[in-house]
Amino acid sequence: MKNEKNSVEKQSSVKQGAKFSGSLGYILAVAGSAVGLGNIWRFPYLAAKYGGGMFLLVYLILMLTFGYALMMSETALGRMTGKSPVGAFQSFGNKKWLKVGGWINAIIPILIAPYYCVIGGWVVKYLFEYLRGNSTELSTDGYFTTFISDSLSAEICFAIFAIMGFSVIVAGVKHGIENVSKIVMPMLVVLAVITAIYSVTRPGAWEGVKYFLIPNFKNFSIMTVVAAMGQMFYSLSLAMGILYTYGSYLKKDADIEKSTKQVEVFDTGIAVLAGLMIIPAVFAFSGGDMKTLQAGPSLMFITLPKVFESMGMPRIIGSVFFFMVLFAALTSAISLFETSVATFVDELGLSRTKSSFLMLGIVLLLGTASVLGFGAWDFVTVLGMSILDFFDFLTNSLMMPISALFTCVLILRVVGRDKIAEEVKLSSRFKRQKLYDIVIKYFAPAFLIIIFISSIASVFGWIKI
Ligand code: TRP
């Protein structure tokens, strides 16, 4: 749903002076990119798996410190240089590490998009089945596992989702999507609130509410922090160049601090709602059994159909809900595609059409590998993970800390915190400047290194996941 990110558009928008004013348009564009499967599908399963309230607490702390500092930095750097990440890094010199820093930011969305579409495909399947009135089947045990191990149907759903996203890119109807999303996103919030209230009031659900909202230090492990950190990057679309690009479209008088805060509140609000929809329901339907809580990526697809089935009118509720999730997922996917296409146009000098097809090729190729990983190739594991989980781990737990570290080093060694502050203060009071300084200077670099090492250690089994 973003109206940015390819050089042709960029030039024309600059020519017409049609930059984001920084108010509603910008916030909606960033929120549309931010709110997606990350909030509704990824956050609840990670919270369930990595310690409930403890995960939530760590997530909130990280978001208000790191998330805040990185969002501010990326947006300010984008606006300062007027460029997307590869260009933004290189506008500070031709050193090799600047090139690497820009590229690692640009490559992450290219690797996320394929598996994002695979999950988008699962949403397509569930929507389709609800529309057909198959709600009872969807709520039976084992339905989801059977579906994803049937590679052909999973592949078809994945291709439908990917092609829907690309049609929007190629047809250039993003503005239409933006207008629709102004209606659909608020509807999603209303439906999520209703479902959450229903879910929380089920018999036995209260234990789940407590598990999700009250931190229990017994549930803390280093993996809680690693997972929360990866999720924060993922959910806010951080450490992958998106905000550089958005920032480059921002007017000099747009209040960066205010819009950052609003996006944080909105994004986290949706994630917490999704948690309240799903986690208490897990307790109501399975008594909080550990195995169900650890279900991982399948959690949303297994628990929610049971909730809808017991709510009455499952066909209607399920259809409306998965339609909205599909919409939120599509807007995010489109933004992932746009960013990647813009990188090809700007850095490889390809035409927009060629770039779009190149990206479609990459998505279909890597996405198919993820689909097969649950079916025909289910014997293939990378470092003990399924192919889809591996891509998720590679981008979120390994590449994003490195990419964020590059941004920190760029600010500390080259740009200078004072320059960032100057840029922010063109339009904001920068109330949290002290916090920003401490995070960027000490906390962030040390912490990112620890996270990176812990991720590697967990892969090799040196620490328990
Ligand atoms: N933030 C999105 C979500 O929560 C997912 C996402 C990750 C994304 N990286 C992105 C979206 C880049 C757009 C662009 O679902």
Say if ligand 1 is within 6 A of residue 34 CB: yes
In this prediction, residue 40 carries a pLDDT of: 93
In this prediction, residue 141 carries a pLDDT of: 87
Top mutation candidate among 74, 108, 112 for ligand 1, by most atoms within 8 Å of CB: 112
Give the span between the Cα atoms of 256 and 245, in whole angstroms: 14
CA of 137 to the centre of ligand 1 (A): 31
Say if ligand 1 is within 6 A of residue 109 CB: yes
Q: Chunk the chain into consecutive blocks of 10 residues (it has 465) and report each block's average pLDDT, rounded to whole numbers.
A: 41 42 70 89 94 96 94 92 88 91 93 96 97 94 93 96 89 66 79 89 92 93 89 91 83 87 92 94 83 84 88 88 90 88 87 92 97 90 88 91 93 92 89 91 88 84 65
In this prediction, residue 347 carries a pLDDT of: 85
CA of 329 to the centre of ligand 1 (A): 9
Q: Which two tokens stand for residue 138?
A: 């969807």
In this prediction, residue 45 carries a pLDDT of: 93
- 250 - beta bridge partners? 20
Give the span between the Cα atoms of 390 and 424, in whole angstroms: 37
User: Buried (b) or exposed (e) across 285-322, using 16+ Cβ within 10 A?
Assistant: bbebeeebbebebbbbbbbbbbbbbeeeebbebbbbbb
User: What are the Cα distances from residue 260, in Å, to 226, 264, 422, 433?
Assistant: 23, 6, 17, 14
In this prediction, residue 182 carries a pLDDT of: 73
CA-nearest of 385, 355, 358 to 369 is: 385
Crossing angle (nearest 10°) for helices 400-409 and 222-235: 70
Q: What 3-state DSSP class applies to 218? A: helix
In this prediction, residue 339 carries a pLDDT of: 84
CA of 37 to the centre of ligand 1 (A): 8
